[in-house]
Structures are given as C-alpha cells and as structure tokens.
Amino acid sequence: MGVEGGMKCIKYLMFFFNFIFWLCGIALIALGIFVQIELKNTLVMTSPASASAAPIVILSVGVIVFFISFFGCCGAVKENYCMVTTFAVLLTIIFLVEIAAAITGYIFKDKVQTVIKDEIQQEMNNYNSSMKNTLDDLQKRYSCCGINSYTDWFNVTQFKPGRVPSSCCKNTTDCTKNPTRENTFEEGCVKKIEDWLKRHIVIVAAVALGIAFFELLGIIFACCLMKGIRSGYEVM
C-alpha cells in the first residue's frame, strides 16, 4: 500500500530535493577537480598530502553526496522504508561531518599562510632545478615576486646575490641585475595567493551552505516519509 495525501506530496518533494542535492554533488566533484588543477598549476607542494588534502576532501564529499542522493531518490520512488531510513542516517552523518570539517577549517585557517610560505621558500631554494619553470609561472601569473617582496631573492644561497629571476620583472625590460620597486613586482606571492584563496572561498562557502540547506530538508522529508510508510505498513 503506497502513501497517500500529504505523504505523497512529501514523497515527491523528497525526490525533487534529492535531485537538486544530486546536482550539488556533481558541483562539488567539479569544484574539487578545479581546486586540484589550480593547486598543481600554482604550487608544487613538497608534501603531496598537503597539496591534495583540500581538493580530495571536496571531491570525496561530492562523490558521497552524489551516491547518497541517488539512494534517497530510489527510496522515495519505491517507498522503501529501509532505503529511506538508511538515507536519513547517512545524510545525518554527512551533515555532522561537514559541521566538524567547517569548525576544523576555521581553527586551522591561520596555518594556510605558513604552508604557502614554506612551499614557496622551498621552490626558491631549489630554483635552479626542476622548480624553475613552476616558480616562474607562479610569479608571472600572480604578478608577484618572492615570498613577501623581491628582496627575498637576495637571501637565496643558490641564486646570484642581489638579483631576481626575469619572471619578477614588470615589463620586457631586464631587471634581473638591478631590481628596484619600480621595475619589479613589489608584492610577494604569499599575499597574492591568499587573496586568490579568499576570493574563491566565497564560492566554496556558498556551495557548502546550499548543500547543508538541502541536507536538512532531505533529513526532514525522509523522517516524514518514513513515518508515512510505517503508518501504511501498520494499516496493512
């Protein structure tokens, strides 16, 4: 015996919001891939784990959301009590994990600057090796030079004293032998990358809030549908 009346409305609402939730999962997967590609194009992290942590978390949540929402859609259409219950439990767990992740991210947000600084310093120290092209691309892309300013290059032992790479020059004029504030990118790369992250974190936060909203709706609709299905079984 299927659900009737208001419960049928809840059933279709749950299916609709799960479909939106499924699209959110696809959006998270795409966002995770985008962040991973952007990080690889920006920094060659000395620790693979530190480079992949953020995009892997986003990608993993996206995949989980994708499958859970699909599971919820099937449960709603078939009016299967076990599937709907499993969906509600998994969605609640995911919601709690996301809250924990958000709190952890807020607590450790100040360490991002340290990680970026250490990675750029490592690339500067190894500039004459495989890091040269990566660091040159980074400085040209963000119009920056060094960690905090172009003078950071003066302290790199593997680089010629008092000189900077050509990627620090503002224009085609060669400033490598006589760098000044006028002919080099004055701002350091750490601040530039931080600014880029701050601009794009708004997108991540908006997506996260949207998904959290649909998760709460999904949990509420699932609980209502579970009650309706159980009532149908009791009538039978």
CA gap 72, 162 in Å, rounded: 63
pLDDT at residue 150 above 80? Answer: yes
Structure tokens at 63: 């995949």
- Of the pLDDT bands very low, low, confident and very high (cuts 50, 70, 90), residue 81 is confident
CA gap 9, 85 in Å, rounded: 18
pLDDT at residue 172 above 70? Answer: no
More confident residue, 151 or 39: 151
pLDDT for res 45: 46
Q: Match 């008092």 to its residue by tokens.
A: 162
The secondary structure of 142-159, three-state, reads HCCCCCCCHHHHHHCCCC
Backbone torsion region of residue 171, taken as left when φ is above 0, otherwise alpha when ψ lies between -120 and 50, otherwise beta: beta
CA gap 197, 201 in Å, rounded: 6
Closest by alpha carbon to 204, among 32, 85, 75?
A: 32
More confident residue, 108 or 115: 115
C-alpha 63 chain-centroid distance: 13
Quick one: the chain helix, strand, coil %, rounded to 5?
75, 0, 25
The neighbour count for residue 86, using CB atoms within 10 Å, is 16
- Of the pLDDT bands very low, low, confident and very high (cuts 50, 70, 90), residue 233 is very low
Query: DSSP string spanning 71-139?
Result: HHHHHHHHT-HHHHHHHHHHHHHHHHHHHHHHHHHHHTTTHHHHHHHHHHHHHHHTTTTTHHHHHHHHH
Mean pLDDT is lowest, of 39-43, 91-95, 133-137, 166-170, for: 39-43
CB 73, CB 19: distance < 8 Å: yes
- Ordered by start, the domain boundaries in the chain are 6-235
Structure tokens at 216: 């709460």
pLDDT for res 105: 67
Closest by alpha carbon to 31, among 202, 194, 192, 218?
A: 202
pLDDT at residue 202 above 80? Answer: no
pLDDT for res 236: 35
Q: What does the mean pLDDT of the chain come to?
A: 77
pLDDT for res 49: 45
pLDDT for res 131: 75
pLDDT at residue 87 above 80? Answer: yes
Closest by alpha carbon to 132, among 170, 168, 80?
A: 168
More confident residue, 236 or 96: 96
